[in-house]
Amino acid sequence: MTRKRTAILISGRGSNMSALIAAASDAGYPAEIALVGSNRPEAAGLQRAAEAGIPTAIVDHTIYGKDRTAFERALHDVLLQHRIQIICLAGFMRLLSPWFIAQWPNRILNIHPALLPSFKGLDTHRRAIEAGASEHGATVHFVVAEMDSGPVVAQGRVPLFPDDTETALAARVLAVEHRIYPLALKLVASDRVRVDDGRCIVCGAVSAEEATLLPRHPAH
């Protein structure tokens, strides 16, 4: 098995990065974390990656001022230098342009703390509580030009209780994130995911755990 060379892009501590690194420490896992990159030199996750023996790279967006194209071309060049095949965004606080996304079609994964398409954007836990939602969760999806709108690879759900606080709900959702991101990367790196009419279809036999974490498509 040739493991897919994967880059994790972070801007902070990289909580989901740690979950992906742990999963990829298994030699049987189909993805190898070949690079951790950050747009912030002070990102705490860079030290965690270095401790795990993973190469790191910094492409500091501030040195490019408002020239987002120059920043993204520099980032793209670094990814190519490391022969990256899949990108995982893990708290990467930069919106990617259509140009960058087009260089990596269906090869950029992102995790969002909500059950997309509900609660796109920020403050998802507060908004879910205020909306009186009965359940909440997290979504791993392919990145497209429109924010939080790409085909869904995996979702994990948690109940939302009447007396929930943002802190309590966020902790339950984070535990789900740490389960579904390694699963989603595993499926993509195994070439088991194809995108058909904006939906992700998982090929091959699906395990019991996978079945609970795959997106629910409404019936036509």
Q: Which domains does the chain have, with CATH numbers?
A: 1-104 (3.40.50.170), 116-220 (3.40.50.170)
Which segments within 39-134 are labelled E, that is strand?
Answer: 56-58, 86-89, 108-112
Question: 61, 76, 82, 112: which is the annotated catalytic residue?
Answer: 112
pLDDT at 131: 97
152-159 and 193-196 as β-strands: parallel, antiparallel, unpaired? unpaired
The reply to whether 141 belongs to the active site is no
pLDDT at 217: 58
Of the CA atoms within 13 Å of residue 170, those in its CB half-sphere come to 10
pLDDT at 215: 77
With a cut of 50, which residues of the chain have pLDDT below it?
A: 219-220
